[in-house]
Structure 1
Amino acid sequence: MASSRSILFLSISMVLLSSVAMATDHIVGDDKGWTVDFNYTQWAQQMVFRVGDNLVFNYNPSFHNVFKVNGTLFQNCTFPAENEALSTGKDIIPLKTEGRKWYVCGKADHCASRQMKFVITVLAEGAPAPSTPSPPPSSDARHVVSSVFGVVMATMLATIAIFA
């Protein structure tokens, strides 16, 4: 029989691993990245964003940037001073709070005419997904964390079953 100390350790490990494994890196635009003439609104509608997730913007910094803006700036395709732009070409934005978040490209007419803008709604960590989300497009990168989590959980359950 397993000792109570082993069961306690496994229980704590499962809780810690589940919170880490549940976070998702959302690659904006999937394989296309952050570029012109891609429907980011449609892309965002297929995702579920939670506190603890990250948005990852991949793009050529010579041609694009990223601004976090409010709803009014988003609708008007206006943005703050250039020095507030994210411009590394591989920007990671942690989603730390729930609520609506708006993102635009501030280069040329990319926001107004080339569809480089989108809005998301970030849910609380444990909140259920919206009732009728569209299935997300298949992407190996998005499912790596879920697969690892499944393997770890199956291993832990098998260990408990063997020693119980």
Structure 2
Amino acid sequence: MKIGGGIIVAVVAAVALAAAMSMSIDVAAAEVNHVVGGDHGWDPTSDILYWSSDRIFRVGDQIWFTYSAAQGLIAELKSREEYESCNMSNPIMMYTEGLHTVPLEKEGMRYFVSTDSQNCKNGLKLHVEVQPKDSGSRALPVAQTVVADGPAAPSGSARCGYNVILSLLLCVIVVLAY
């Protein structure tokens, strides 16, 4: 049986639609990896307040701390009062590895400070207001696009490529079945 051009066009259109849908799903579910302090990392020379001022942190994002233990570790604190006064007497968590990823799993405020009290008082601290996850596609401001070396993770484009390949394979099987 010979396949008409209309069926082939319909199959190609279905593949294109499937690819477009898989790309939009990946974009909507995308997380942002925020490398704290940008190129300088978590360092006394970084202007953490300026770095964080135009960023939006959402549930599902991650913040990455890169730091030298020689300059102090990082403590996560419970309250704004502890954060403002650099009171590290009762931290929620201590980060000690020099490179640490902190997942932002729920909405609310998070407070991070240098355990070196002088560095903390000089501004080496970060407060993050975690916003709800977007329900629609997520447009990222240029300021949130971060280029940094870090652990390799599967990218959205790799998942999209996988979905496109599966869609094409399915179409070939359907065409060959005729």
Structure 1 and Structure 2 fold alike (TM over 0.5): yes
Deviates more, 1:50-59 or 1:37-46: 37-46
Indicate whether 1:34 and 2:5 are aligned.
no
The unaligned stretches of length 5 or more in structure 2 are 1-9, 150-154, 172-178
- Tell me the equivalent position of 2:5: none
Alignment of structure 1 residues 4-153 onto 2, 5 Å: 10=19, 13-14=22-23, 16-20=25-29, 22-69=30-77, 70-81=79-90, 84-113=93-122, 115-126=123-134, 136=143, 139-141=146-148, 152=160
- Tell me the equivalent position of 2:6: none
> Take 2:81 and 2:117, find their aligned partners in 1: how far apart are those partners?
19
The structure-2 alpha-carbon separation of the partners of 1:9 and 1:137, relative to structure 1 and needing over 3 Å to count, comes to closer
> Take 2:116 and 2:91, find their aligned partners in 1: how far apart are those partners?
10
SS at match of 1:2: helix
> Take 1:117 and 1:10, find their aligned partners in 2: how far apart are those partners?
43
Which amino acid in the other structure matches residue 132 of structure 2?
Answer: A
Tell me if structure 2 keeps the 8 A contact 1:33–1:57. Answer: yes
Measured on the aligned residues, the alpha-carbon RMSD in Å equals 3.8
Tell me if structure 1 keeps the 8 A contact 2:36–2:64. Answer: yes
The structure-2 alpha-carbon separation of the partners of 1:101 and 1:84, relative to structure 1 and needing over 3 Å to count, comes to closer
Alignment partner of 1:2 out of 8, 11, 34: 11
Larger radius of gyration: 2
Tell me if structure 1 keeps the 8 A contact 2:63–2:103. Answer: yes
The structure-2 alpha-carbon separation of the partners of 1:23 and 1:82, relative to structure 1 and needing over 3 Å to count, comes to closer
Displacement of 1:35 in angstroms is: 0.8
> Take 1:36 and 1:11, find their aligned partners in 2: how far apart are those partners?
44
> Take 1:101 and 1:82, find their aligned partners in 2: how far apart are those partners?
12
The unaligned stretches of length 5 or more in structure 1 are 129-133, 143-147
SS at match of 1:110: helix
> Take 2:16 and 2:144, find their aligned partners in 1: how far apart are those partners?
39
Which amino acid in the other structure matches residue 60 of structure 1?
Answer: S
Tell me if structure 2 keeps the 8 A contact 1:35–1:64. Answer: no
Tell me if structure 2 keeps the 8 A contact 1:28–1:57. Answer: yes
Deviates more, 1:50-59 or 1:117-126: 117-126
